[in-house]
């Protein structure tokens, strides 16, 4: 026996495969630089920042789908929970609202939880049969009525506190950076509960279940005004880095900007975005390193084995249910962190803007185009798809404007083109997805 091979040793890659990743990343960087050159550095930095967040989202989905084969299409629910965490952690508490009905609301939540625990205990302790069924119905209905009797007046009182500006309980008033791990924890907690009930389902049923649960989370967020103002949105979430306005009022900063030959407005906007970029890049790096370490370890090997063949993995002593739950929770936590980061960047939580197309489907496109089962692919997909999503509209408008300019005045085609502008985004995404699936079905950077 010669040298001992590494755990993750693999068949020699095709010549050129080693160069594929750096080349694709280089091309992505060139795209971003060219965008900055044409549209301005501010525009490009905006894309980069959201690209970094998208890359983290894609890593989360890739963890679940690429490495464990779990079909989660409730991504937006976990993103929204991360966003909710930002409000709950970083916004100042609304003292008046707490005085008006905060305790009642909390008591209501506890009662609801106790009702559920009670139902579980009845289910476990009583023998199956009519007596158990009736006990559960009676206890459940009674619990619900008592809960609502306590909860509803509290909610009404809280929401009545200057509804135009607050009308909710507010948050803990803690530093906003704490919201990122908190967002991960909140999403992980939800994933644990969901996973306990839904992970027994086969892949396509799991997809439907997560789709529904994502919508339920969003519906709660939109309708429970006492929690985060629902569709009235929470704005003015504190920023972890100095805002542009703050920088402009800082004489030191203005002086240094002047030294470098920038006017204060440009310099402050850019610096604010660069600081965000540093934070986001650091999070991405940490998530990537942790994911890579885990996946190139016996843990990752076990996960791939489970993905390849659940039945055989179970026969080889691996607890498939437990492992599925574990990676579902981990992936959701990553998505939750990204959700919290996004709301921090925007400075506001707007539940009405969470569309499945943008926050579930688009993330999936990132993973599929980038290459599922490969973290480098997921990150590239995150950047590339986000870049396209942003750039395609102005680009389409520009191309169409030129075409229309060439066409004779009032021609049928010109009118048609002018109307088609708005659909460029979806068209491009569809065409790109088709092209990738046709010519590189395993994505731009395949698993191996």
Partner 1 sequence: MIEVHDLHKHFGGFRAVDGASLSIRPGTITGLIGPNGAGKTTLFNVIAGRLPPTSGRVTMGGEDITGLPPHELFHKGLLRTFQIAHEFSSMTVRENLMMVPPNQSGESIWNAWFARGRIRQEEARLARKADEVLEFLTIRHLADEKAGNLSGGQKKLLELGRTMMVDARIVFLDEVGAGVNRTLLNTIGDAIVRLNRERGYTFCVIEHDMDFIGRLCDPVIVMAEGKVLAEGPAESIMRNEAVIEAYLGRGLRNKGAA
The binding site for partner 1 (CB under 8 A) comprises: 1, 4-11, 290, 293-294, 297-302, 304-305, 308-309, 311-320, 326, 330, 447-448
CB closer to partner 1 out of 326 and 348 = 326
Residue of 324, 326, 306 whose CA lies nearest to 316? 306
Task: Compute the least distance from the CB of residue 448 to partner 1, in Å.
Answer: 7
Task: Compute the least distance from the CB of residue 382 to partner 1, in Å.
Answer: 23
Task: Compute the least distance from the CB of residue 189 to partner 1, in Å.
Answer: 18
Contact 192, 260 (CB under 8 A): no
Q: Whole-angstrom Cα distance, residue 286 to residue 270?
A: 24
CB closer to partner 1 out of 224 and 314 = 314
Contact 193, 77 (CB under 8 A): no
CB half-sphere exposure, 322, CA atoms < 13 A: 7
Task: Compute the least distance from the CB of residue 323 to partner 1, in Å.
Answer: 9
Task: Compute the least distance from the CB of residue 321 to partner 1, in Å.
Answer: 9
CB closer to partner 1 out of 7 and 23 = 7
Task: Compute the least distance from the CB of residue 322 to partner 1, in Å.
Answer: 9
CB closer to partner 1 out of 169 and 367 = 367
CB closer to partner 1 out of 102 and 331 = 331
Q: Whole-angstrom Cα distance, residue 360 to residue 362?
A: 6
CB closer to partner 1 out of 101 and 373 = 373
Task: Compute the least distance from the CB of residue 317 to partner 1, in Å.
Answer: 3
- Helix H segments across 348-408? 356, 362-370, 375-406
CB closer to partner 1 out of 316 and 401 = 316
């Amino acid at each position: 026996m010669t040298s001992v091979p590494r755990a993750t040793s693999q068949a020699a890659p095709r010549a050129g495969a080693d160069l594929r990743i750096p080349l694709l990343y280089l091309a992505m960087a060139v795209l971003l630089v060219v965008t900055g050159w044409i549209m301005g550095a501010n525009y490009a930095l905006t894309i980069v920042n959201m690209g970094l967040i998208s890359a983290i989202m894609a890593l989360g989905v890739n963890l679940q789908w690429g490495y464990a084969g779990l079909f989660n299409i409730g991504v937006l629910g976990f993103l929204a929970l991360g966003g909710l965490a930002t409000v709950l952690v970083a916004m100042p508490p609304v003292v008046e609202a707490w005085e008006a009905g905060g305790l009642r609301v909390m008591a209501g939540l506890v009662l609801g939880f106790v009702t559920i625990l009670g139902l579980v205990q009845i289910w476990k302790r009583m023998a199956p049969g009519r007596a158990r069924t009736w006990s559960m119905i009676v206890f459940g209905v009674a619990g619900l009525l008592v809960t609502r009797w306590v909860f509803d007046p509290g909610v009404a009182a809280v929401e009545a506190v200057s509804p135009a500006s607050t009308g909710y309980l507010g948050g803990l008033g803690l530093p906003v950076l704490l919201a990122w791990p908190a967002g991960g924890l909140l999403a992980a907690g939800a994933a644990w509960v969901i996973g306990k009930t839904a992970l027994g389902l086969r892949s396509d049923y799991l997809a439907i279940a997560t789709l529904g649960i994502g919508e339920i989370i969003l519906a709660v967020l939109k309708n429970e005004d006492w929690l985060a103002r629902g569709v009235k949105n929470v704005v003015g979430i504190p920023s972890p880095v100095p805002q542009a306005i703050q920088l402009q009022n800082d004489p030191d900063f203005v002086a240094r900007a002047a030294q470098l030959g920038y006017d204060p407005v440009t310099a402050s906007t850019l610096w604010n975005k660069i600081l965000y970029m540093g934070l986001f890049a650091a999070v991405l790096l940490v998530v990537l390193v942790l994911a890579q370490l885990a996946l190139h370890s016996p843990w990752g090997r076990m996960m791939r084995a489970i993905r390849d063949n659940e039945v055989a993995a179970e026969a080889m002593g691996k607890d498939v249910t437990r492992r599925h739950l574990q990676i579902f929770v981990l992936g959701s936590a990553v998505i939750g962190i990204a959700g919290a980061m996004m709301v921090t960047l925007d400075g506001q939580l707007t539940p009405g803007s969470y569309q499945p197309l943008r926050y579930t489907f688009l993330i999936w496109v990132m993973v599929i185009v980038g290459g599922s089962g490969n973290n480098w692919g997921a990150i590239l997909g995150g950047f590339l798809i986000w870049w396209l999503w942003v750039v395609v509209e102005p680009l389409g408008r520009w191309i169409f404007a030129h075409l229309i300019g060439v066409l004779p005045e009032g021609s049928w085609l010109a009118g048609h083109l002018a109307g088609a502008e708005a659909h460029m985004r979806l068209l491009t995404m569809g065409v790109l997805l088709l092209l990738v699936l046709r010519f590189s079905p395993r994505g731009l950077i395949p698993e191996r």
